[in-house]
Amino acid sequence: MPMRTITNPILPGFHPDPSICRVGEDFYLVTSTFEYFPGLPIYHSKNLADWQLIGHGLSRPEQLQLPTKNPNAFGLYAPTLRFIKDRFYLVCTNVGANEGGEGNFLIWTDDIAGEWSDPIWLDTPGIDPTIFADDDGQTYYLGTHKEIYLRTIDLASGDLGPRQNIWTGSGAADPEGPHLYKKDGYYYLLISEGGTSYGHMLTMARSRSLTGPYEACPNNPVMTNRSTNLPLQAAGHADLVQDTKGNWWAVCLAVRPISYPLRHLLGRETCLLPVDWSNPWPEFGEEGHLPETIQVDTAAAPKETQKKSSKPDYVTLFEWDPTLIEEEPHGFLLHPNQTGLSDQGKLAAVFQRQTAFDQQFQATFDCRQLTDGQAGLTVFLNATHHYEGYLEKTASSQQLVFRRQIGSLWKVEKKLPYAADTVTLQLSADKETYRFSVVDEQGQAQPLGSGETKYLTTEVGGVFTGIMVGCYASASSSQQTLRVRDF
């Protein structure tokens, strides 16, 4: 097969905490989603370069309740995906649930592209769970709670054995994100340290015995981009996989800063790097760094697979409620409630990830049945940091509006009279600016307003997610409907 150069990230936009497994010639990958629903997207690839969304681990609201009490810092953290005895398993943490349904859980499926089970809740503390099946058939749960610990687990019942602490890390802050692998008679423990920001790094330890003691790799950290000028930063939280030719690879998260001081906009993204295991300790990437481009000995994905991959992963906040959102062949029906973008609650909104710095979004809103409310396009970090252009209708007026909110400060920056009940809104992005426009009947974009990207970066206003672009609506009363097309 020909060598092919691919550019990181392999899953651009908000795709943090990747976990990967291989079944035969097929690779499957899952990432964190925090407060967005459906949650835990499942991607499939034949070649590690071209990925197609095939489903979600959490697709039914009755599986669990996502927290609504704080913006983009709670919800679904750091899943692990494994294939054990002909069945797929996911373990994950739901952090900060409003009432019940908080903590670590296990779900399973026999059909990776189908529905997953209801959660089996696990009585065990901390975050970042993983599971490991040993050669003797015993399965283990590893978690993060001040240090890395190990317990036996029954995958059918969720019953857990006694806790054994096995490693505190290499001495840096926040040892977390453990994954365990067995190779050449050793158990290799891979974790992240330094916090999931610009000090992020991977460290490793190994032991002849599952329960330890574990000796730290003399070359720790085994991978980090801290204190470099590389375009990818904050690299860490990795999982390993071996391909059918025996080559080893890691998927990890990283960010692409847009300016100095370092600020990132698109969230933590999924990247790929080679792992050389020709020596007793693995060597990651290029001299322990995550490179921007890598060579992959693989063929391009079929065109039909690439076409299927182009559909966005449409999500909403907290719960996909059919009384608020209905999917149609070319768009959505929104039935707005009184919840707005600045409220921390379920609302009539559909989002997709911003995946490139230079990107354009457009949607057409049919607001004939909207009598007293607003509908439009938003660039959204969280409930306190977002910009939007929208059509506003009241009993006495109808106008286009551009509004921005940055923390506790918000301002309506422009109002334009607008008579039609249908409007096409456009959002154009580059590294510095978001520009909102209204598209006229001749297809020409007329400016509505603009805002700086820097105020929507994680360092200014966010925590663990990234920029989402959404179509939304809110209204003062119920029984109103609008149609969104071509988003």
Number of helices (H), then strands (E), belonging to the chain: the values are 2, 39
Plot region of 29 (φ>0 → left; ψ -120 to 50 → alpha; else → beta) = beta
Q: Which two tokens stand for residue 89?
A: 């398993």
128-167: string of b/e by CB count within 10 Å (b at 16+)? bbbbbbeeeeebbbbbbeebbbbbebebeebebeeeeebb
189 vs 166: CA distance, rounded Å: 10
Spell out the residues 6+ positions from residue 182 whose beta carbon is closer than 8 angstroms to its own: 134, 135, 188
Work out the angle at residue 134's Cα, subtended by the Cα atoms of residues 129 and 137, and round it to the nearest 5 degrees.
110
Work out the angle at residue 136's Cα, subtended by the Cα atoms of residues 133 and 141, and round it to the nearest 5 degrees.
30
Q: Which two tokens stand for residue 80?
A: 């692990």
23 vs 111: CA distance, rounded Å: 12
Which of 17, 128, 174, 239 is catalytic? The answer is 17
Fill in the amino acid letter for 98: N
* Residue 451 · residue 387 · CB < 8 Å: yes
Count of Cβ atoms closer than 10 Å to residue 260 Cβ: 6
What is the bridge-based pairing of β-strands 398-406 and 19-23? unpaired
392 vs 214: CA distance, rounded Å: 62
343 vs 373: CA distance, rounded Å: 15
7 vs 478: CA distance, rounded Å: 47
The end-to-end CA distance of the chain, in Å, is: 37
228 vs 156: CA distance, rounded Å: 46
Residue 17 annotated as catalytic: yes
Which of 50, 128, 174, 176 is catalytic? The answer is 176
Residues annotated as catalytic are 17, 176
